[in-house]
Amino acid sequence: FMMKIAFILSYNNQELKNQVRQLAEERGMTVFFCVAYFREAIPIVEQLRQKEGIEAVICRNITADVLRKNFSIPIINIEITNYDIIRTISRLGKRYKNIGFFRFRTDSANFEVEEIANICDVKMSVLWEDRSETRNYYKNAKEHGCDLIISSSNMIAEQCRKAGMEAEIIEIGSSNIKNALEHCKNMVELRRQEAIRRQRLKQVLDTASDGYIAIGHDGAVIVINDALKKMAGIQEQDILGKHIRERGVHSFLKMVADAENGGIVTYRGEKYSVRHERMSEEDRLIRDIVCIADTSRIIRMGSSIRNKLAAKGFYAKNTFDDIISRSDLMEGVKSRARYYAKSSSNILITGESGTGKELFAQSIHNESSYAAGPFVAVNCAAVPENLLESELYGYEEGAFTGARKGGKIGLMELSHGGTLFLDEIGDMPISLQSKLLRSIQERQIYRLGGHENIPIRNRIVCATNKDLARAVQEGTFREDLLYRIDILRICVPPLRERGEDIVALALFLIQKKAAENGREVYVEPALIEELASYSWPGNVRQLEAFIKRLVVSTPEKEIPRSVFTALFRELADNRPSDSRSHTNPEEMEGDHFILKPGTLQEIEQQAIRQTWERCHGNIQETAKCLGISRATLWRKRKEIM
């Protein structure tokens, strides 16, 4: 709808009005003109807001400062420029040689007075506005011997004329008007978008049972939901727009603002949990969202939620279609995993960190006869040793000090009828491995402190990035447990061994990360091809992090080559220094290749493969050892693969 603004003039200038009206109409804006000075503009603007619904004001200097203190709508200060001053002096001809230029102390513009005086061949003095006494704006001018006063304010010009001095107004140029209108339009459109977002946020938060308050970057309250109003007895009009710690703001909100994240506050005998969610620095509207929850309600809901989770089960969202691959190697692994999924036997998934082992586990579950059941995942390395047993097996009431009333259902029990995914199985404490082995063998469990056996029918899928056979030799993993979980094995290859997948994954991740950031992104195909020249020690997880960094590094739709090159160079510079990732080419001079007889091309391919393995997939070191460029090495590796 049409944007309405007020344009405040210091004197009635019909020519200026016509010019402003025409430029405003071209931008879809309706202008209401008024003549006012300083505080005189306050009631006029208030009336225009209530009667006409104006959304912004364009005015000059001190009038703008006064209005900003009294209104929250955008107040745009229309600036004069050096060119406007030169144009005014030139229009007067050679009649004046000593000109006084009145400036406002609040005016931040950078005027090149000496340069202007040289260009116009006049003497110029800067006379600062002084309102401390009787507004004798001409007094300093006389002391400086000025024969003409120029100012952007008609009020100053009139005062000087009444005192018998000649005065001229610096006219505002069309470019200044255009800039002010464009700035005004952008500010109003931004406020409209923020108002829509604020309303949508309010609608969402009003559906919540917990209290919510959104705080802006200036500390002012932006949104308060209905639950919080009822919780603290707050009226919306008494808090919106006020600083959260301002005097007179409700004491409960001050307590909430001062509470630590996860802290508890007491109000009217009730305890409330406070959680602060810091928004992204890129969010121009909201700095924090604070959730205030009644702790008694949380306790009541806890048991209900656990029972519902136990009845509903857990969910595996990924399928084999979500595993992006183009290489024959990865397609073969996927094909084998699909075939294994139809079996009920336990599966061990091996592979380096970041290759997507859980993605395979979820896909296997969704393509198996257990798909209708829950998918329960537990990271054996993430849960402390003293808690892992109770998490897996659950416990009965009173099993140990601090045990929850009513006991707790364990993750193995929750996985009944579905899949139990044990990630990082190699990090499971050896003291717990014997109990897991017994559970797998007997297909039943006992809760901690319980005596009743609970039958379990599930499929167990394990994953590890460790060499379990070596762990058995070192005594950190039970050999009999390995035999139980390693019925079927899937080895997920590292990203460096499937170069074709790097490009496919990069294209997919670019689209995904661009969509998450609400924008379109284009990367040159040649740049994407360069990604395959890196060994990606962090595998898909590292590639995804790089793509995310690439997408957010620049606002441009097409990623500049310079940005891509800088970020890509950082990969090698920041790569951890270890024995696998770095090889000194000089140390390989005494090594020998074992080459089988064959054609020259076959021998060359053997040399490339063996050097690649010795350099642990580092393309720069491999190319240096072979004495060829990285591009040549990449091309020859594509031929081999």
| Higher-scoring residue by pLDDT: 180, 247 | 180
Q: How far, in Å, CA of 136 to CA of 489, rounded?
A: 93
Residue 498 has pLDDT above 50, yes or no: yes
Q: Which of 72-76, 274-278, 338-342 has the highest mean pLDDT?
A: 338-342
pLDDT of residue 578: 45
Least confident segment among 39-53, 67-81, 142-156, 184-198: 142-156
pLDDT of residue 640: 63
Beta pairing class for 167-169 and 148-151: parallel
Sorted by sequence, the CB contacts under 8 Å of residue 291 that are 6+ apart come out as 210, 211, 212, 274, 275, 277
Are the beta carbons of 223 and 213 closer than 8 angstroms? yes
pTM of the prediction? Answer: 0.46
Are the beta carbons of 494 and 536 closer than 8 angstroms? yes
* pLDDT digits 0-9 by tens, 576-633: 544 344 444 443 444 556 666 667 777 777 788 788 777 766 777 787 788 787 667 7
pLDDT of residue 587: 39
- Judged by phi (left if over 0) then psi (alpha if -120 to 50, else beta), residue 394 lies in left
Least confident segment among 49-53, 356-360, 595-599: 595-599
Q: Quick one: tokens of 51?
A: 């009667």
Are the beta carbons of 617 and 496 closer than 8 angstroms? yes
* pLDDT digits 0-9 by tens, 108-121: 667 788 888 888 88
- Judged by phi (left if over 0) then psi (alpha if -120 to 50, else beta), residue 299 lies in alpha
Are the beta carbons of 630 and 620 closer than 8 angstroms? yes
Q: How far, in Å, CA of 531 to CA of 550, rounded?
A: 12
Phi, psi of 505 (to 5 degrees): -65, -40
Are the beta carbons of 129 and 137 closer than 8 angstroms? yes
Strand order in the sheet with 75-77: 29-35, 3-9, 56-59, 75-77
Are the beta carbons of 568 and 534 closer than 8 angstroms? yes
Residue 409 has pLDDT above 50, yes or no: yes
Are the beta carbons of 609 and 615 closer than 8 angstroms? no
| Higher-scoring residue by pLDDT: 38, 543 | 543
pLDDT of residue 261: 79
Q: How far, in Å, CA of 234 to CA of 562, rounded?
A: 54
Are the beta carbons of 101 and 86 closer than 8 angstroms? no
pLDDT of residue 641: 55
Residue with tokens 């997948």: 501
Kindly state the percentage of the chain with pLDDT values over 90: 12
Alpha-carbon distances of 319 from 330, 361, 362, 421, 458, rounded to whole Å: 15, 9, 7, 15, 19
Average pLDDT over residues 134-148: 70
Which of the four pLDDT bands, split at 50, 70 and 90, describes residue 107? low
Residue 411 has pLDDT above 80, yes or no: yes
pLDDT of residue 221: 81
**What kind and span of H or E run contains 198?**
helix 174-205
Average pLDDT over residues 465-489: 90
pLDDT of residue 114: 82
HEC sequence for 460-500: EEEEECCCHHHHHHHCCCCHHHHHHHCCEEEECCCHHHCHH
Are the beta carbons of 421 and 461 closer than 8 angstroms? yes
Q: Quick one: tokens of 508?
A: 């997919």
Q: Which of 199-208, 545-554, 573-582 has the highest mean pLDDT?
A: 545-554
Which of the four pLDDT bands, split at 50, 70 and 90, describes residue 453? confident
Residue 219 has pLDDT above 80, yes or no: no
Q: How far, in Å, CA of 427 to CA of 463, rounded?
A: 10
User: Residue 166: which of 117, 82, 96 has the closest Cα?
Assistant: 96
Q: How far, in Å, CA of 188 to CA of 406, rounded?
A: 57
Least confident segment among 69-78, 86-95, 314-323, 623-632: 623-632
Phi, psi of 177 (to 5 degrees): -65, -45
Are the beta carbons of 105 and 61 closer than 8 angstroms? no
Q: Which amino acid is at 168?
A: E
Average pLDDT over residues 514-535: 85
Average pLDDT over residues 58-87: 84
Residue 401 has pLDDT above 70, yes or no: no
Kindly state the percentage of the chain with pLDDT values over 70: 86
| Alpha-carbon dihedral angle through residues 112, 113, 116, 122, given to the nearest 10 degrees | -170
Alpha-carbon distances of 82 from 109, 122, 157, 327, 595, rounded to whole Å: 9, 15, 19, 65, 79
pLDDT of residue 595: 66
- Judged by phi (left if over 0) then psi (alpha if -120 to 50, else beta), residue 332 lies in alpha
Q: Which of 209-213, 420-424, 511-515, 623-627 has the highest mean pLDDT?
A: 420-424
pLDDT of residue 305: 44
Residue 414 has pLDDT above 60, yes or no: yes
